[in-house]
Structure 1
Amino acid sequence: MNKEVLKVSNIEKYYGSNGNITKAINNISFSVEEGEFIGIMGASGSGKTTLLNCISTIDKVTSGHIHIEGKDVTSINSKGLARFRRENLGFIFQDFNLLDTLTAYENIALALTIGKVNHKEINRRVEEVAKSLNIEEVLNKYPYEMSGGQKQRVASARAIITNPSLVLADEPTGALDSKSAKMLLESLEELNTNLGATIMMVTHDAFTASYASRILFIKDGKIFNELIRGKDSRKEFFNKIIEVVTLLGGDQRDVF
Structure 2
Amino acid sequence: MENVLKVVNIEKYYGGKGNVTKAIDNISFEVEKGEFLGIMGPSGSGKTTLLNCISTIDTVTTGNIIINNKDITSLKNNDIEKFRRDELGFIFQDFNLLDTLTAYENIALALTIQDVKPKSIDGRIKAVANKLGISEILNKYPYEMSGGQKQRVASARAIVTNPSLILADEPTGALDSKSSRLLLDSFEKLNEELEATILMVTHDAFTASYAHRILFIKDGKVFNELIRGNDSRKEFFNRIIEVVTLLGGDSGDVF
Q: Tell me the TM-score normalised to structure 1 length.
A: 0.98
The aligned residue for residue 25 of structure 1 is 24
How many Å separate the matches in 2 of 1:102 and 1:173?
A: 23
The aligned residue for residue 144 of structure 2 is 145
The aligned residue for residue 73 of structure 1 is 72
Correspondence list, 1:1-256, <5 A: 2-256=1-255
In the TM superposition, residue 250 of structure 1 has moved relative to its aligned partner by: 4.1
In the TM superposition, residue 248 of structure 1 has moved relative to its aligned partner by: 3.8
- For residues 77-104 of structure 1, the C-alpha deviation after alignment (integer angstroms, 9 at most, x for no partner) is 1111011000000000000000000000
How many Å separate the matches in 2 of 1:186 and 1:89?
A: 21
How many Å separate the matches in 2 of 1:201 and 1:20?
A: 31
How many Å separate the matches in 2 of 1:250 and 1:231?
A: 26
The structure-2 alpha-carbon separation of the partners of 1:84 and 1:23, relative to structure 1 and needing over 3 Å to count, comes to same
Write the letter of the residue equivalent to 1:227: L
How many Å separate the matches in 2 of 1:236 and 1:251?
A: 20
How many Å separate the matches in 2 of 1:254 and 1:157?
A: 32
Structure 1 SS opposite 2:133: coil
Structure 1 SS opposite 2:43: coil
- For residues 185-211 of structure 1, the C-alpha deviation after alignment (integer angstroms, 9 at most, x for no partner) is 111111101110000000111110000
Structure 1 SS opposite 2:89: strand
Write the letter of the residue equivalent to 1:196: E
Structure 1 SS opposite 2:100: coil
Write the letter of the residue equivalent to 2:161: T
In the TM superposition, residue 33 of structure 1 has moved relative to its aligned partner by: 0.3
How many Å separate the matches in 1 of 2:204 and 2:248?
A: 15
Contact 1:219 1:248 (8 Å CA) reproduced = no
Structure 2 SS opposite 1:141: coil
In the TM superposition, residue 246 of structure 1 has moved relative to its aligned partner by: 1.9
Write the letter of the residue equivalent to 2:119: K
Report percent identity of matched pairs.
76
Contact 1:10 1:63 (8 Å CA) reproduced = yes
The structure-2 alpha-carbon separation of the partners of 1:143 and 1:64, relative to structure 1 and needing over 3 Å to count, comes to same
How many Å separate the matches in 2 of 1:250 and 1:49?
A: 19
How many Å separate the matches in 1 of 2:203 and 2:247?
A: 12
Contact 2:241 2:251 (8 Å CA) reproduced = no
In the TM superposition, residue 251 of structure 1 has moved relative to its aligned partner by: 4.1
Contact 2:244 2:250 (8 Å CA) reproduced = no
Contact 1:40 1:216 (8 Å CA) reproduced = yes
Give the unaligned 5+ runs of structure 2: none
Write the letter of the residue equivalent to 1:190: K
How many Å separate the matches in 1 of 2:72 and 2:253?
A: 31
Q: Tell me the TM-score normalised to structure 2 length.
A: 0.98
Structure 2 SS opposite 1:58: coil
In the TM superposition, residue 245 of structure 1 has moved relative to its aligned partner by: 1.7
Aligned residue pairs, count:
255
